Amino acid sequence: MEAKNLSIFSSRKSKSVTERTAAIILRICAIMSIVAVASITIYMVISGTPALFSQGFADILFNPVWNPTGKNPEFGILYIIITSIFGVAAAIVIGVPIGLLTAVYLSEIAQPRARTVVRSAVELLAGIPSVIYGLLGILIINPVMYDIERALFANDPNHQMTGGSNLLSAILVLAIMILPTLINISQTALEAVPDNFRKSSLALGASKIQTIFKVVIPAARNGILSAIVLGVGRAIGEAMAIVLVSGNSVNFPTPFASVRFLTTGIVTDFAYATGVHLDVLYTIGLVLFVFIIVINIVLTKVVKAGVANGK
């Protein structure tokens, strides 16, 4: 009986309550990421700027002297910033060729079974905790570096021996850690290149390798650029893997010097720092945050440029 009286308008009110509540709750969930980024930005700025104003921008950002606990404390983080930039750049220079070529292997050359094996290995590499990279860095890379250091600087009285905990060790650890990012994103980009580009190159008498390097990689350029940008982000933000490997004293970044990165300084000093020292650690955090935001904006531009090119 009831069914007969069912109007197409009748049930709307009761239904619409559930419907509307669901839509509102879901919308709140979606908004959470905006809220999170906004709060993180606000907190980083609020906590990161006081030191800049109390000590002066130049005395922090462009001052090479870091002596937070001295009688006349100085809080210059210039060398720390430069170390992060140098270290990341070098890790990228080492990591990108290896990562890109491995991606080429996975996308263009490997037979299915070999591809499965290498892919599993790369996935595993991505899942290994930072602290384990650090542990192996201390026990495998540092001793080798120490041997090299002793051989190179045996007769150099000006060199401060680091026991192998130096910039070069940290660069190697970072280069390995960014490999999965570089490989995964480059591989996706290479696989997205339409097959008819490969076919027409081969039909012109190009060899497989020529086709890969002259057509496939150039066509995947934007995706590979994204991989590099993300690799930079991963490397510049890494802390626990390099904190014990890099030596962590503030020096100008030369390969065999003990150095401090933006991230590692925060890890070691946060537990005991107070007052201005603590404020400066937040400033370092803010610098790191600004780097990441810039990287993300660059990334968005790269992806947009790719879309504009019709890819």
Range 63-82, binding another protein (CB under 8 A): none
Q: Which of residues 37-66 bind another protein (CB under 8 A)?
A: 37, 39-40, 43-44, 47
Q: Using CB atoms within 10 Å of the CB of residue 197, give its burial: 0 to 12 exposed, 13 to 18 middle, 19+ buried.
A: middle
Residue closer to another protein (CB basis): 160 or 300: 300
Asked whether position 144 contacts another protein by CB under 8 A, the answer is: no
Q: Which position among 62, 123, 144, 160 is part of the footprint of another protein (CB under 8 A)? A: 123
Per-residue burial over 148-180, b if 16 or more Cβ lie within 10 Å, else e, is: ebeeeeeeeeeeeebebbbbbbbbbbbbbbbbb
Residue closer to another protein (CB basis): 15 or 58: 15
Min. distance of Cβ 186 from another protein in angstroms?
A: 11
Min. distance of Cβ 311 from another protein in angstroms?
A: 7
Min. distance of Cβ 56 from another protein in angstroms?
A: 22
Q: Which position among 2, 3, 7, 25 is part of the footprint of another protein (CB under 8 A)? A: 25
Instruction: With contacts defined by CB under 8 A, name the span among 55-63, 67-75, 128-136, 144-152 that binds another protein.
Output: 128-136
C-beta separation of 200 from 264 below 8 A? no
Residue closer to another protein (CB basis): 242 or 257: 242
Q: Which residues have C-beta within 8 Å of that of residue 86, sequence separation ≥ 6?
A: 167, 253
Q: Which of residues 217-276 bind another protein (CB under 8 A)?
A: 218-219, 230, 233, 236-240, 244, 263, 266-267, 270
CA–chain centroid gap for 81, Å, is: 15
Instruction: With contacts defined by CB under 8 A, name the span among 52-60, 67-75, 154-162, 303-311 that binds another protein.
Output: 303-311
Listed in sequence order, the DSSP H helices in 238-272 are 262-269
Using the Cα atoms of residue 274, residue 276, residue 282 and residue 285 in order, give the sign of their dihedral: negative
CA–chain centroid gap for 7, Å, is: 58
Residue closer to another protein (CB basis): 105 or 153: 105
- Picking from 307, 301, 280, the residue whose alpha carbon sits closest to that of residue 47 is 280
For 245, the token pair is: 């490997």
Asked whether position 278 contacts another protein by CB under 8 A, the answer is: no
Q: Strands of 95-187 (E only): list them.
A: none
Q: At what angle do helices 275-308 and 12-48 cross, to 10 degrees?
A: 130
Residue closer to another protein (CB basis): 152 or 293: 293
Q: At what angle do helices 262-269 and 275-308 cross, to 10 degrees?
A: 150
* Strand partners for 311: none
Residues in the interface with another protein (CB under 8 A) total 100
Asked whether position 165 contacts another protein by CB under 8 A, the answer is: no
Residue closer to another protein (CB basis): 42 or 58: 42
Residue closer to another protein (CB basis): 149 or 269: 269
Q: Which position among 176, 189, 259, 280 is part of the footprint of another protein (CB under 8 A)? A: 176
Asked whether position 5 contacts another protein by CB under 8 A, the answer is: no
